[in-house]
Chain A
Amino acid sequence: MGEVKNIAKDAIEAKTVEGVAGLEADKYKYGFESDIEQEFAPKGLNEDIVRFISEKKNEPDWMLKWRLDAYARWLTMEEPTWAMVDYPKIDYQDAYYYAAPKSDKDGPKSLDEVDPDLLEVYKKLGIPLKEQEVLAGVQGAPRVAVDAVFDSVSVVTTFKEELAKVGVIFCPLSEAVQKHPELVKKYLGTVVPPTDNYFATLNTAVFSEGSFVYIPPGVRCPMELSTYFRMNAQGTGQFERTLIIADKGSYVSYLEGCTAPMRDENQLHAAVVELIVLEDAEIKYSTVQNWWPGDAEGKGGVYNFVTKRADCRGKNSKVSWTQVETGSAITWKYPSCVLRGDGSSGEFYSIAITNGFQQADTGTKMIHLGKNTKSRIISKGISAGKSNQTYRGLVSAHKKATGARNFTQCDSLLIGDQCGAHTVPYIETNTPSAQFEHEATTSKLSDEQLFYCRQRGLSEEDAVALLVNGFCRDVLQKLPMEFAVEAQKLVAISLEGSVG
Chain B
Amino acid sequence: MIKIKNLTATVNDGQQTILNGLSLEVPAGEVHAIMGPNGAGKSTLSYVLTGKDGYDVTDGSVDYLGQDLLAMEPEERAAAGMFLSFQYPLEIPGVPTMHFLRTALNAQRTARGEENMAAPEFLKKARQIATDLKIKPDMLKRSLNVGFSGGEKKRMEIFQMMMLEPKFIIMDETDSGLDVDALRIVADGVNALRAPDRGMLVITHYQRLLDYIVPDRVHVLADGKIVASGDADFAKLLEKEGYDKYAA
With both beta carbons as reference points, the residue of chain B lying nearest to A16 in the complex is identified as: B103
Contact of A454 with B by CB under 8 A: yes
For chain A, the count of residues having a C-beta within 8 Å of the partner chain is 33
Question: Which residue of B96, B99, B116, B123 has the most chain A CB atoms within 10 A of its CB atom?
Answer: B99
With both beta carbons as reference points, the residue of chain B lying nearest to A446 in the complex is identified as: B90
Question: Is the CB–CB distance between A457 and B107 below 8 Å?
Answer: yes
User: Which residues in window 452-500 of A have CB below 8 A to B?
Assistant: 452-460, 462, 466-467, 469-474
Question: Is the CB–CB distance between B75 and A454 below 8 Å?
Answer: yes
Question: Is the CB–CB distance between B95 and A470 below 8 Å?
Answer: yes
CB contacts (< 8 Å) of A18 on chain B: these are 106, 110
Residue from A14, A446, A449, A462 within 8 A of B116 (CB atoms): A14
Q: How many angstroms between the C-alpha atoms of A347 and B131 in the bound complex?
A: 41
Question: Which residue of A11, A447, A452, A456 has the most chain B CB atoms within 10 A of its CB atom?
Answer: A456
Contact of B74 with A by CB under 8 A: yes
Question: Is the CB–CB distance between A470 and B73 below 8 Å?
Answer: no
Question: Is the CB–CB distance between B143 and A14 below 8 Å?
Answer: no
CB contacts (< 8 Å) of B91 on chain A: these are 449
CB contacts (< 8 Å) of A9 on chain B: these are 99
Smallest distance from the beta carbon of A379 to chain B beta carbons, Å?
A: 15
With both beta carbons as reference points, the residue of chain B lying nearest to A458 in the complex is identified as: B107
Contact of A448 with B by CB under 8 A: yes
Q: How many angstroms between the C-alpha atoms of A449 and B92 in the bound complex?
A: 7
CB contacts (< 8 Å) of A460 on chain B: these are 75
CB contacts (< 8 Å) of B94 on chain A: these are 469-474
Question: Given that A11-B119, A447-B53, A455-B50 are contacting pairs, would A466 and B103 also be in contact in the complex, using a CB cutoff of 8 Å?
Answer: yes
Contact of B14 with A by CB under 8 A: no
With both beta carbons as reference points, the residue of chain B lying nearest to A465 in the complex is identified as: B103
Q: How many angstroms between the C-alpha atoms of A162 and B106 in the bound complex?
A: 42
Residue from A10, A467, A472, A473 within 8 A of B98 (CB atoms): A10
Residue from B77, B79, B102, B123 within 8 A of A14 (CB atoms): B102
Smallest distance from the beta carbon of A11 to chain B beta carbons, Å?
A: 6
Contact of B125 with A by CB under 8 A: no
Q: How many angstroms between the C-alpha atoms of A9 and B78 in the bound complex?
A: 25
Question: Is the CB–CB distance between A459 and B52 below 8 Å?
Answer: no
Contact of A76 with B by CB under 8 A: no
Question: Given that A469-B94, A470-B95 are contacting pairs, would A14 and B103 also be in contact in the complex, using a CB cutoff of 8 Å?
Answer: yes
Contact of B18 with A by CB under 8 A: no
Question: Is the CB–CB distance between A13 and B103 below 8 Å?
Answer: yes
Q: How many angstroms between the C-alpha atoms of A466 and B93 in the bound complex?
A: 10
Contact of A7 with B by CB under 8 A: yes
- Residues of B bordering A, CB below 8 Å: 50-54, 73-75, 77-79, 82-84, 86, 89-96, 98-108, 110-111, 116, 119, 123, 141, 143, 160, 164
- Residues of A bordering B, CB below 8 Å: 6-7, 9-11, 13-14, 17-18, 21, 446-449, 451-460, 462, 466-467, 469-474
4 shortest A-B CB distances, which residue pairs? A470-B94, A473-B94, A457-B108, A456-B104
